[in-house]
């Protein structure tokens, strides 16, 4: 096997130094997976024209690279989209929990408005492999496609073409305003980040075959905001036919999204007023850094979603699910056991306030009594933001005929770190990108192999089950999920807390 990998690596350098896609030739970088498998990486491929100047807050334009004998350099990571240090601070928070200095966290890369790029990892350009498209998280205000945990080399080595994409963030990707809606042929605004993702999927459909991927077998997968965006992609008619399966990791809240276009536009009007900017033309003229600073001062919610605009989202997601207004593609939804533990403020006062905000405080208190305050808050907030909405999405898609699978990630790494199976903890197990500073033992490696197998088989077939791993049942009224932790096994989930949090 090693000898064959060396030969493949040598061949890759010759065969892939300039690989032709539909619109251009690209020069990439040969890399070797941990097991010696030859992989070729193409970094910073433009999939849409730069959304700058008059194109700020407009739908993305297809890329118009002319085919040339001179390959385009695809050996360097692109600029990240405009953002602050939110994701860097997340890495630093995890590092601190494990007793590591802030310096082990990745630094924020160079940022720019011209950021609509994607990266490709492929083991064989002559093949026709399943395609896995990663959509990063970061609350739709932070994150980039090549964060250390998102590198696709090891996943590609197992038999897939892996793509990671970027999209406009924060005020650049989700600002609504009546003037912007009036400019749009579809009468909408505030959805540019999702439109970028759709444009990336169009580029992939047109070009991924040249990189060894099967355009007829594309899986989108993502975590946190990326997972939430996948729910919108599953429900928007604009993405029909662009992908065939979907994996949503800790991103169920679109089930509750009802914010209207008018509400989004009103927020934009308020933003211009607070910034004392007379109109959209003047806002477009601002330097990107100045605009980012103004948005940080004004917008406090810390998260961006597209509005229900009658076009990208014809109706609220819950209504679309109830009407079964979606393609019944195979879907996987999941959440982590301790999503909110690293974020909660563990005081009795905070618990009492959170409890009072629930529809049935007595029932919630009865279910969680006896737990320490941090665990009570974690259980409550994780259920409200992740577990229960993810189950609602699973119910809706399963009712509409989509083969549906649900997991809970509950692996807690060794050491006394106090954050449990935290938000984002599952990602290194899927990409096999465990940071050197994280305690990673034989059990973590074992779980990595199991999870990579499930994800890859789901991408290939729409069913995560494969030889050598415990059977994973489809989601049904038997409420069977797959527990992914020290053991991997199906179990029945307890939804009493979700019932107590329901307003029905």
Catalytic residue numbers?
A: 224, 339, 423
Burial 250-272 (b: 16+ CB within 10 A, else e): bbbbbbebebebeebbebbeebb
Residue with tokens 């007829």: 216
Structure tokens at 168: 């406009």
Task: Give the strands of the sheet with 213-223, arranged side by side.
Answer: 29-32, 38-46, 117-122, 161-165, 129-135, 213-223, 245-249, 331-336, 404-409, 480-484, 488-492
Coil, strand or helix: which one is 190?
A: coil
For residue 230, give the nearest of 318, 333, 160 by alpha carbon: 333
d(CA 451, CA 426): 9
Give bridge partners of residue 220 from the DSSP assignment: 133, 246
d(CA 15, CA 393): 44
d(CA 252, CA 463): 20
DSSP state, residue 63: P
Write a three-state SS string for 255-305: HHCCCEHHHHHHHHHHHHHHHCCCCHHHHHHCCHHHHHHHHHHHCCCCCCC
d(CA 243, CA 132): 10
DSSP track, 416-454? S-S--S-TTTTHHHHHT---TTS---HHHHHHHHHHHHH
Give bridge partners of residue 260 from the DSSP assignment: 308
């Amino acid at each position: 096997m090693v000898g064959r990998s060396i030969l493949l690596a040598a061949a890759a350098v010759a065969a892939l130094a300039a690989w032709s896609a539909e619109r251009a030739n690209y020069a990439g970088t040969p890399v070797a997976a941990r097991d010696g498998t030859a992989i070729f990486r193409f970094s910073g491929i433009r999939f849409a024209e730069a959304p700058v100047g008059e194109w700020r807050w407009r739908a993305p334009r297809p890329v118009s690279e002319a085919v040339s004998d001179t390959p385009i350099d695809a050996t360097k990571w692109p600029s990240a989209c405009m953002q602050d240090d939110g994701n860097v601070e997340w890495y630093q928070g995890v590092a601190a929990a494990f007793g590591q200095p802030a310096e082990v966290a990745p630094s924020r890369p160079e940022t720019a408005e011209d950021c609509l790029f994607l990266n490709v990892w492929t083991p064989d350009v002559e093949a026709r492999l399943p395609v896995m498209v990663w959509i990063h998280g970061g609350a739709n205000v932070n994150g980039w496609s090549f964060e250390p945990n998102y590198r696709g080399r090891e996943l590609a080595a197992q038999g897939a073409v892996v793509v990671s994409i970027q999209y406009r963030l924060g005020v650049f990707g989700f600002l609504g305003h009546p003037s912007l809606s009036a400019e749009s042929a579809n009468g909408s605004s505030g959805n540019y980040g999702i439109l970028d993702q759709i444009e990336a999927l169009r580029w992939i459909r047109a070009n991924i075959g040249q990189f060894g991927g099967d355009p007829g077998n594309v899986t989108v997968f993502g975590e946190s905001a990326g997972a939430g965006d996948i729910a919108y992609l599953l429900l928007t008619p604009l993405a029909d036919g662009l992908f065939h399966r979907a994996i949503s990791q800790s991103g169920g809240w679109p089930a509750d999204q009802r914010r209207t276009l008018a509400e989004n536009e009103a927020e934009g009007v308020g933003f211009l007023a607070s910034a004392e900017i007379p109109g959209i033309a003047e806002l477009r003229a601002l330097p990107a850094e100045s605009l980012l600073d103004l948005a940080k001062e004004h917008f406090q919610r810390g998260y961006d979603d597209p509005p229900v605009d009658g076009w990208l989202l014809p109706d609220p997601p819950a209504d679309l699910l109830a009407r079964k207004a979606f393609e019944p593609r195979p879907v996987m939804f999941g959440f982590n056991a301790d999503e909110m533990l690293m974020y909660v403020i563990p005081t009795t006062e905070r618990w009492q306030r959170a409890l009072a905000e629930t529809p049935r405080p007595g029932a919630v208190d009865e279910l969680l009594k006896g737990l320490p305050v941090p665990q009570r808050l974690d259980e409550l907030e994780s259920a409200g933001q992740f577990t229960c909405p993810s189950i609602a999405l699973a119910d809706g898609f399963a009712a509409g005929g989509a083969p549906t699978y649900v997991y809970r990630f509950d692996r807690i790494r060794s050491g006394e770190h106090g954050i449990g199976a935290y938000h984002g903890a599952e990602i290194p197990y899927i990409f096999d990108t465990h940071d050197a500073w994280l305690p990673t033992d034989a059990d973590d490696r074992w779980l990595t192999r199991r999870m990579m197998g499930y994800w890859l088989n789901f991408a290939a077939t729409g069913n995560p089950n494969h030889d050598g791993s415990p059977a994973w049942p489809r989601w049904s009224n038997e409420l069977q999920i797959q527990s992914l932790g020290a053991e991997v096994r199906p179990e029945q989930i307890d939804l009493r807390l979700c019932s107590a949090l329901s307003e029905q």
